Chains A and B, each alone.
Chain A
Amino acid sequence: MAKTTDLDVGYVSKLARLNLSDQETKLFQKQLADVLKYAEKLREVDVSHVEAAAHAVPMFNVFREDKPCDWFSADEALSNAPHKANQLFVVTKVVE
């Protein structure tokens, strides 16, 4: 397991597309270092013979009929849009 000092909150916040204030960055750095230190105990466990569990119920390949059905109208889908025009979401410019 990696050393807890490897956590760089400033860098991870960029990966997460989540701006943080300098104060938050400093606080989280300390608090999450504590959490990671606590979690170091996982290193004690021998997991060499264990398969990773994505979730607790063994269910695979859940299929359903591929059939169209009624769902939101355009107006309903847009009802919570922060910015919309002409029945479309208006988004921040993506290409130059």
Chain B
Amino acid sequence: MSPDDLPALTIAELQSLLRRKEVSPREVLKSLRARIDQVEPKIDAYLSIDLNAALKEAEKVDVDLPLGGVPIAIKDIINVTGQPCTCGSKILASYRSPYDATVIEKLCAAGAIPFGKTNMDEFAMGSSTENSSVKLTRNPWDLSRVPGGSSGGSAAAVAADAAFAGLGTDTGGSIRQPASLCGIVGLKPSYGRVSRFGLVAFASSLDQVGPLTKTVRDSAMIMNAIAGHDRHDSTSLPDRVPDYTKNLGRDLKGMRLGLPKEYMIEGIDPQVKSAVDGAIKQLQSLGAEIVDVSLPHTDYGIAVYYFLATAEASANLARFDGVRYGHRAKEPKDLLDHYGRTREEGFGPEVKRRIILGTYVLSSGYYDAYYVRAQKVRELIRQDFVKAFEKVDAIISPTSPVPAFKLGERTADPLAMYLADIFTNTGNLAGICGISLPCGFARVNGSQLPIGLQIMGKSLDEARIFQIAHAYEQSTDWHKARSPISVNSKSEIRNKNGADDRD
């Protein structure tokens, strides 16, 4: 295999080459670096890359470890020792991490090499990566469109073969939605499954770290490395971590999949609906039984989410006060001026908007009316899922109501941007797990845009949604379709089940 082709491989494929010593970790890094240089001018997925630090790791790595020698791109909100961690914000432009997040320690213990920090919406607030204070990332399938967000840099890099896999974070859909828009696999683990120690906090009752990968198997392999209890994160769950690859290859006979009637809303793109309908037929043909379920409080998800997430963000972002790290305003005349200007100069518009909304819903006189009421409706949303999971093993929906939209199309209207998370944020509110994987394409103005299928499972049931996702993936060719700028562009792949609406 020529070094130019290496970055097209999945983790599983790369690993077998590494173990057979057909390629060294050093050669892998060099070829990935060359690939990044080639596509980065088009997609702008990375914020920083430190080849020398990665090469140092590569010298001592044991390729027989579970992820031995595999480079993984890291969303720039997760601390990696010695590397920047800007969160896409001016306020952390000069920050360097003095420590590793637990997920980074765990990846390294499994032999992986953190390589490159990826672009994101500032402090993970957004659904298009356009809220990055640094630059715009572009969707590899159509460079005039957004990659989704907030983990848009990791998603675009994987879709363009500029990363073998990436880590992202998901507070309301920020792994699954960009995975959907970029035609890759993205998993939001159950709340508490993966440690958040060393992740810069946005909304602490919702945030989770998870993988963005080319295949379901790769996602399971990364989860095997990063899941588990961490004494540094009191919200991490002590439950045993299963081998997430164990169920891969098992069939779907007897599996009951729920179809929530509330998800077939107006405003869902007809091509998205038709692709998801095709996926449902395919899952049935694999032996799964489709069951109608109801999640009656779905329609309140966005409103609940934006009260709770902004409230938590306004508290979490209070730490950016220009005292211990980050930007500090020049020559403040007193302490109030110091805080007010430091934060004015350091934060971008969306972050400011959310701090204001969050502060408002927590303020005296409004706390009960907004914040407490939202918490109560959150409980009703959680109970909806508990009841649905009494009847079914997993729940199926589109990941995003629309394929990738144009850069700039939604930036002037925050509410329109918030609605991008309509099928994903209830999963965060309920603390359950969810995966997005490719299930077709929409044709829009001559571009072929990926569509994602979401499979949601109950808390700690990742192994089961991996099993369903893998069975579906392996029975279709969607995951083999590569973006037009990938190494071996094979985007014109037809689905075996005939649900393909491409010409």
Residues of chain A whose beta carbon lies under 8 Å from any beta carbon of chain B: 1-2, 6-7, 9, 12-13, 15-21, 24, 28, 31-32, 34-35, 38-39, 41-42, 45, 47, 50-57, 59, 62, 64, 72, 76-77, 79-83, 89, 91-94
Contacts and interface: CB of A to CB of B under 8 A. Distances in A.
B235 A53 contact: no
Contacts of A62: 234-235
Contacts of B235: 55, 57, 59, 62
28 contacts: A2-B369, A6-B366, A15-B363, A16-B314, A17-B340, A18-B339, A18-B355, A20-B344, A24-B352, A28-B356, A32-B357, A34-B414, A35-B414, A35-B415, A51-B376, A52-B376, A52-B378, A54-B375, A55-B191, A55-B235, A57-B191, A62-B235, A64-B234, A76-B99, A82-B323, A92-B332, A93-B335, A94-B335
Contacts of B94: 80
A6 B373 CA distance: 17
A88 to B, nearest CB: 11
B78 interface: no
Interface in B371-420: 372-380, 382, 414-415, 418
Contacts of B353: 28, 31-32
B249 interface: no
Contacts, number: 170
A42 B352 CA distance: 24
A80 B191 contact: no
Interface in B347-363: 347, 349, 352-353, 355-357, 359-360, 363
B222 interface: no
B302 to A, nearest CB: 8
Interface in B310-331: 314, 318, 321-328
Contacts of B344: 18-21
A1 B98 contact: no
Given A56-B205, A57-B237, A39 B307 contact: yes
A29 to B, nearest CB: 9
Nearest to A2: B369
Main SS of the interface on chain B? helix
Contacts of B237: 57, 59
A39 B303 contact: yes
A12 B307 contact: no
B192 A59 contact: yes
A71 to B, nearest CB: 9
Given A13-B356, A28-B352, A83-B328, A56 B429 contact: yes
B299 A82 contact: no
Contact of A42 (B192, B304, B323, B430): B304
A18 B324 contact: no
Contacts of A89: 323-324
